[in-house]
Amino acid sequence: MSDLFHVSAGPHTRSPITTKNIMLDVIIALIPAGLFGVINFGIHAFMVIAVTVLACVLTEYLYCKAMKKPSTAGDCSAVVTGLLLAYNVPANFPLWMSALGGIFAILVVKMLFGGLGQNFMNPALAARAFLLISFPVRMTSFAVEKITSPGVVDYIQKGVITVDGVTGATPLAALKAGETVDLYKMFIGNIGGTIGETSAIAILIGAAYLVFRKIISLKIPLIYIATVAVFVMIFGGKEFNMTFLLGHILGGGLLLGAFFMATDYVTSPITPMGQIIFGICLGLLTGLFRLFGGTAEGVSYAIIFCNMLVPLIEKASRQKSFGKERALSDK
């Protein structure tokens, strides 16, 4: 009896695409943003990425061994989680904190809920929220690419002071304070911020690759970004100021979150209408957090909250079964 096949009800589909194939494509798409982050911020950014990825992969491998389960570390999903988490922390972030975040993402958010496909929120963003609560000062000390204060430059050149890095306000913080921003620098990425969020063009190159490979659909990202844009125009107090509007689109983690985290298969709706609702909710919450919250950013918490709403969204947007509740005129 143990040799019998257990067949469930149809329909059945077969596909050569595996989880590992998809994750490898996502890893390739994330390379441009990470590469620019290392070039922009230096070798420590690379070390943060390497340590975070290693912590994620080892945690998943050791958990599977401890639970005497087949190892799932080879499907590369832990690598993607490590990359996304590393891209969401400052370049000068301590390495032991990076490792702690990776352990939390895999152990607490992913494996304890059953592994890939069972987690109810994005592991990388959940770990970022954990790190932000645990180490708020280090998580909000953003390195900048260049030192722009002439006085500081003079002191450094003369050897009066020695620094390992310089921190400064991000473009979103500048917008929230009523200051202007340089859109060109934001597009290229020569600005302060986390490792993987600064270069809009690098993120868009990776997103284009995912769309070309048909890994993601543009529905959720475009609705998400459009909703943020409309919210900012209505409630931002700047009317149709394009610098202010584009600053909110290019700044912070909006592009990275929209294309790489809001599109996560596990934590986003599968119904067509549900995806539209999901994108709108993401945009509304992000705009609300950014304009009226205590901090300049809001992408991470918006995605986390909407991840938890996905079961309700799918229930409300579920399509009726074929032939169910036929109109009386058809009888």
| 1 occurs within a structural domain | no
State yes or no: pLDDT of 109 exceeds 70: yes
Residues 172 and 70 reside in one and the same domain = no
Residues 131 and 254 reside in one and the same domain = no
Span 243-272, pLDDT tens digits: 999 999 998 899 999 999 999 999 999 999
Residues 223 and 89 reside in one and the same domain = no
Global confidence as pTM: 0.85
Output b/e per residue, 112-144; b: 16+ Cβ within 10 A. Answer: eeebbeebebbbbbbbbbbbbeebeeebebbbb
Span 46-60, pLDDT tens digits: 999 999 999 999 999
| 151 occurs within a structural domain | no
Distance CA 281, CA 309 (A): 9
Contact 247, 181 (CB under 8 A): yes
Residues 247 and 291 reside in one and the same domain = yes
pLDDT at 172: 85
Residue (of 62, 61, 33) closest to 49 by Cα position: 33
CB atoms < 10 A from the CB of 153, how many? 12
| Number of domains within the chain | 2
Span 140-162, pLDDT tens digits: 887 665 434 444 334 334 443 34
pLDDT at 297: 84
Residues 174 and 279 reside in one and the same domain = yes
pLDDT at 17: 75
| 4 occurs within a structural domain | no
| 14 occurs within a structural domain | no
| 116 occurs within a structural domain | yes
Residues 169 and 281 reside in one and the same domain = yes
Residue (of 113, 105, 129) closest to 305 by Cα position: 129
Residues 165 and 67 reside in one and the same domain = no
Residues 204 and 294 reside in one and the same domain = yes
Residues 240 and 121 reside in one and the same domain = no
pLDDT at 170: 79
Residue (of 138, 121, 129, 141) closest to 101 by Cα position: 129
Q: Domain ends where: 75, 107, 139?
A: 139
Highest mean pLDDT pick, 7-21, 86-100, 103-117: 86-100
| 6 occurs within a structural domain | no
Mean pLDDT of the 125-135 span: 94
Domain containing 127 equals 20-139
Residues 41 and 180 reside in one and the same domain = no
Average pLDDT, the chain: 85
Enter the tokens of residue 106: 């895999």
Q: 233: which residues sit within 8 A by CB, 6+ positions away?
A: 239, 240, 245
State yes or no: pLDDT of 5 exceeds 70: no
| 10 occurs within a structural domain | no
CA angle 200, 206, 212 (to 5 degrees): 130
| Residue 28 C-beta-side C-alpha neighbours within 13 Å | 13
Residue (of 64, 166, 180, 136) closest to 297 by Cα position: 136
pLDDT at 117: 81
Residues 116 and 176 reside in one and the same domain = no
Partners of 167 in the beta sheet? 143
pLDDT at 163: 42
Residues 76 and 185 reside in one and the same domain = no
Worst-scoring range by mean pLDDT, 100-104, 209-213, 256-260, 320-324?
A: 320-324
| 58 occurs within a structural domain | yes
Partners of 90 in the beta sheet? 194
